[in-house]
Amino acid sequence: MKKRIISLLLVLAMLVSAVAMVSCGNTGDSGNEGENGGNGANKVRYDVPAEGYDGSEVTITFYHSMGARLQTVLDTYIPEFNKLYPNITIEHSSQGDYDGVRDQIKTALTAGNQPNIAYCYPDHVALYNVAKAVVPLDNFIESTITVTDANGNTSALGFTAEQIADFIPGYYAEGTAFDAAGTMYTLPMSKSTEALYYNKTFFEQNGLSVPKTWEEMGKLCEQIKAIDPDCVPLGYDSEANWFITMCEQYGSDYTSLDKNGHFKFDNDTNRGFVKMFREWHQNGWVTTEEIYGSYTSGLFTATEGQKCYMVIGSTGGASYQQPPQVDGNALFETDMATIPQVNPDAPKVISQGPSLCIFKDSNPQEVVASWLFVKFLTTNVEFQAAFSMASGYAPVIQSVQSNTVYQQWLDKANGINNLTALSVKLALSQSNAYFVSPAFNGSSAARDEVGKLMQSALVYTGSDVDAKIKELFEAAIYECEYAAH
């Protein structure tokens, strides 16, 4: 009898907790957002307080993934910001890597404890927006409300036309990749891209020229393979970037914001280039990070055994492509160029690196203060210059290049021991070429799947290549659809 009562009580407790959990799931807060859900041609709007920033004391939390060096830069400039807005306290902390930031915020959202500002990649924002947690920025950007800083100077809360024009267009556009209406959810903070690193010494010794198209790249690989039969001429670090970039360069479909069919990458053009690159790999012309088992910079800087003479990798990882030194002498010189193109007259290179997003909060003054800090970080020339020099990432505004200190730093770029500056210089020189893919909840699955597809296709050694490629594409689409639901 006693046992029965206890069992009954326990069952009752389980039922109560189940009901409690269900009801907890319905406590979402849509924030003070306009009616438009972002599903049509209308942008999603956030109601900016009419008084703008009223000078109240607020504490802003900022989650990022900066290492110690970059945090020092940030700590130097927070006092500068506080000279303008002394009542806004900025508390920032590193959450490890980008995924660490995402995971932390994902959990924090369940308790309504999200930070005010965070480093983000587009697919993170798409994820946060499932809970409608991110502040749409258009009303801030367009705002003409006047704010007065501690020096008594007044300015508009939003951006001026000059400030918008100062952003590198490809980077700025990334903030609008979330819905068909082009609602702006993020501002770029610091950016990298992919570049072609090549062994300049080897190229000069053998009279080789840097390829501008994929066709030229194919021929060059054949030439290099003839010179050094043991080498793999080209290493491409990210299979996923390779696939996505090729889609963009060919103008073929990859993904779309269309809710009825996000994943559009299974088409003839894409199968065609995958087939071509598979042949390249089978000829021993190219390898990738996953196939090689490590970043291909390991092959590029190898002093013995197998080598490669070209690498396509992130400009953010430039220091890893620095030539090895023996007794203080570099074994070769590295140089950099834009990655090969389908159409060199309309180049396309991927845009990577963190953006900033602002989270909704019950106190609108925190949101406005967050906006002011984000505006400061993205438009302050000195900060953008210092951050770029410390990180090796490109600044997001063009006026940084006229900063004297920054100019001097860029001038010291060389292919022996200052590849970082060289990579930033290249990233800045191709500022008209950047693209971003649409971001939606599940867009990272597409990225993962096309990377795997590329890898599996390259290493396939069987005879029925077309059938295998077809199978891989169909499987990738299936996996994406599954992940998105």
Partner 1 sequence: MADKLMSTMHEKDMQKVTAMQKVTKILVQFLLYAFLIVMALIIVFPFYWMIISSLKNTAEYRLPVPTLFPQEIMWGNYLEAFTAANLGKLFMNTVYVGIVSTILSLVVTVLSAFAFARLEFKGKNALFAALLATMMIPGELFTITNYVTVTKFGWLDSYTVLIVPFLVSVFYIYLLRQNFLQIPNELYLAAKVDGTTDLKYLWKVMIPLSLPNLISITILKMMGAWNSYVWPRLVTSTDDYRLITNGLRDAFTDMSGQANIPVQMAAVTVVSIPLFLVFIFLRKYIMKGVSRSGIKG
- In the complex with partner 1, the residue whose CB is nearer, 9 or 276, is 9
- In the complex with partner 1, the residue whose CB is nearer, 327 or 466, is 327
- In the complex with partner 1, the residue whose CB is nearer, 12 or 227, is 12
Q: Residues 48, 60, 66, 472: which binds partner 1 (CB under 8 A)?
A: 66
70 binds partner 1 (CB under 8 A): yes
C-alpha–C-alpha distance, residues 419 and 410, integer Å: 10
Per-residue tokens: 260: 């009825």
Q: Residues 52, 353, 442, 451: which binds partner 1 (CB under 8 A)?
A: 353
Site for partner 1 in 171-230 (CB under 8 A): 190, 192
Q: What is the DSSP letter of 44?
A: P
Sheet strands (E) in 115-177 = 117-120, 146-148, 154-156
> What string marks each residue from 389 to 408 as x (binds partner 1 by CB under 8 A) or -?
--xxx---------------
236 binds partner 1 (CB under 8 A): no
Site for partner 1 in 247-306 (CB under 8 A): 292-295, 297-299, 301-302, 305-306
- In the complex with partner 1, the residue whose CB is nearer, 93 or 343, is 93
C-alpha–C-alpha distance, residues 243 and 419, integer Å: 26
Spell out the residues 6+ positions from residue 311 whose beta carbon is closer than 8 angstroms to its own. Answer: 196, 197, 198, 234, 235, 236, 237, 296, 297, 299, 300, 321
Closest alpha carbon to 297 in 264, 319, 278, 280: 319
Site for partner 1 in 410-439 (CB under 8 A): none
**Shortest Å distance, C-beta 197 to partner 1:** 13
- In the complex with partner 1, the residue whose CB is nearer, 391 or 403, is 391
Cα 98 to the chain's mean position, in Å? 9
- In the complex with partner 1, the residue whose CB is nearer, 214 or 332, is 332
110 binds partner 1 (CB under 8 A): yes
Residue with tokens 């499987």: 475
96 binds partner 1 (CB under 8 A): yes
25 binds partner 1 (CB under 8 A): no
Sheet holding 234-236, edge to edge: 286-288, 234-236, 310-314, 194-199, 334-337
Q: Residue 325 forms beta bridges with which residues?
A: 330
111 binds partner 1 (CB under 8 A): yes
28 binds partner 1 (CB under 8 A): no
362 binds partner 1 (CB under 8 A): no
CA distances for 419 relative to 153, 193, 261, 316, angstroms:
41, 14, 42, 10
15 binds partner 1 (CB under 8 A): no
- In the complex with partner 1, the residue whose CB is nearer, 208 or 394, is 394
Per-residue tokens: 50: 């009419």
C-alpha–C-alpha distance, residues 409 and 399, integer Å: 15
Angle (CA) 146 147 148, round 5°? 125
Binding site for partner 1 (CB under 8 A): 2, 6, 9-10, 24, 61, 63, 65-68, 70, 91, 93-98, 100, 104, 107, 110-113, 115, 190, 192, 292-295, 297-299, 301-302, 305-306, 314, 316-317, 320, 324, 353-354, 391-393
